[in-house]
Amino acid sequence: MRGRQREIINGTYKRASSKDRLTAQDREDGLGGNDIGKGSGNPPWIRSLPHVIVAALSSFLFGYHLGVVNDTLESISVDLGFHGDTMAEGLVVSTCLGGAFFGSTISGWIADGIGRRRSFQMCAIPMIIGASMSATADGLGGMLLGRFLVGTGMGVSPPVAALYITEVSPAFVRGTYGSFTQIATCLGLICSFFIGIPAKDVSRWWRVCFWVSTVPAALLALLMEFCAESPHWLFKRGRSADAEAEFAKLLGGLHVKSSMAELSKTDRGDEVDGVKLSELFYGRHSRVVFIGSALLALQQFSGINAVFYFSSTVFKSAGVPPDIANMSVGVVNLSGSIVAMILMDKLGRKALLLGSFMGMAMSMGMQAVAGSSLVSGSPVVYLSVGGVLLFVLSFAMGVGPVPGLLLSEIFPGRIRAKAMAICMAVHWVINFFVGLLFLRMLEQVGPLILYTVFASFCLVGFLFVRKNVVETKGKTLQEIEMALLPASATSSI
């Protein structure tokens, strides 16, 4: 085992065979012999699945609240008396993003302070209260306050969901389970589109749309009471006995001792409260924090949210009704996410990211050509609509689901929650400004230049991933941490 540990620390980062990874406890439990080649050494994936599904409810809510104002905004503005006021309408959308930025900045401290399970329950509370306030609002002020509260919960939930799913999933299916958050987000978006369809014809239907979201939020808070707490968080708190009990619930009794031995290689129970911001920006962990922040920044600079927010304009110019346009984007997004789930633990995170960024660059190039004078007539329609759909599909197959999972894998356990909070704050800031400035930039510089800029960022993303991202497929969190720790840190382990 010491030789194996030194091999990991020295960064050779090659996947060992199942036999090499076999621990003494595994042999004692009868997980040896010819069965190893058949994969019987892996813990049963079904044990952790219900916990992952409950956690994914937070991502469903995330997607639902992103899309709930898509079809209802006009009805809301008429009923609340600000119809035609584009600034007020923009605030109804962007106030939620402002709340999400605030929630994301404090998510790491919440997750480390009260645990992953309680963090889910805490983020459900403002979602329930905020949605209720929005549903009963009789003016713009009440709607904005409700949207801000909902946004706060939305900001907390993505990093906590990524942390929780990463820490409770067996290594061999962690990529698959990590994709559940993206799939749940897509389902939330599609559900909001479906429920919002009657809003144009049924008076005050938009209030029903907000009330509906309180149901999954309440289920999240309730069902989390029966889910396992992250053994990693418990171990950091010095609660080893509780961590063992949760491992037994998640992996089965045969894998408890080996999992605890693996966990103890890198995690320290007395260090979690000593993390300082200076460590994340200037210390030994600054490089992985930079990689995480840059990856999420490139995700947003690729133009994905500009496509999501304004794709209906492209489809409208092609004569496609908005409802069909929104549903088409939602179905393509969901389809790509399902493909990513299937391939995540087969091809690996890095391969999906590389293919995704390249596909996005090509499809954005199609958009740029469609917006130029090089083509005219029906080819413009095909290039525009095809470019949007290909872009969304490429995004959903890699750049969408992978970063959240990858970041929670590469960050050491000691800084994982707080580093995720910083990276998600970067995500929300750029998201906000891309959404705010996209239409103005489109008017000022034209589609050819703007889409070319987006395509260039996708190519930068491809090169950045190729140079800086390591493959984490099939490795335990401790193996990943020991491979990425700076040389000065490995001597103390």
Residues 149 and 87 in one domain: yes
At residue 276 the predicted structure's pLDDT band, cuts being 50, 70 and 90, is: low
Q: Check residue 476 and give left, alpha or beta (phi > 0: left; psi -120 to 50: alpha).
A: beta
Q: Are residues 280 and 422 in the same domain?
A: yes
Tell me, yes or no, whether 123 and 246 share the same domain.
Answer: no
pLDDT for residue 31 is more than 60: no
Does residue 131 sit in the same domain as residue 175?
Answer: yes
**Domain count of the fold of the chain:** 3
The whole-number pLDDT of residue 492 equals 35
Same domain, 219 and 344: no
DSSP one-letter string for 429-474: HHHHHHHHHHHHHHHHHHHHHHHHHHHHHHHHHHHHHHHHPPP-TT
Alpha carbons 245 and 263: distance in angstroms, whole number: 14
pLDDT value at residue 55: 96
Q: Two tokens at 431?
A: 């998201």
The answer to the question of residue 71 being in a domain is yes
314/435 same-domain check: yes
The CATH number of whichever domain residue 237 belongs to comes to: 1.10.286
| Residues 150 and 242 both lie in one domain | no
* 315 CB-contact burial (10 Å; exposed 0-12 / middle 13-18 / buried 19+): buried
Region of poorest pLDDT, from 101-115, 354-368, 391-405, 442-456: 442-456
Let me know whether 402 and 478 are in one domain.
yes
Predicted confidence at residue 238, as pLDDT, reads: 86
The CATH number of residue 279's host domain is: 1.20.1250.20
Give the residue numbers spanning the domain of 466. 274-493
More confident residue, 125 or 268: 125
Q: Mean pLDDT score of the chain, rounded to an integer?
A: 82
Cα 387 from Cα 395, distance rounded (Å): 12
- By the 8 A CB rule, do 41 and 169 touch? no
Structure tokens belonging to residue 377: 């007539």
Same domain as 440, residue 482 = yes
Q: Are residue 339 and residue 488 in the same domain, yes or no?
A: yes
Does 127 share its domain with 155? yes
165 domain residue, yes or no:
yes
Alpha helices in 302-348 (DSSP H): 304-317, 322-347
In a domain, 26, yes or no: no
pLDDT one-digit tens code per residue, 302-359: 988 777 766 666 677 667 776 777 778 888 999 999 999 999 988 999 999 999 999 9
Q: What is the pTM of this model?
A: 0.80
Q: How confident is the model at residue 393 (pLDDT cuts 50, 70, 90)?
A: very high
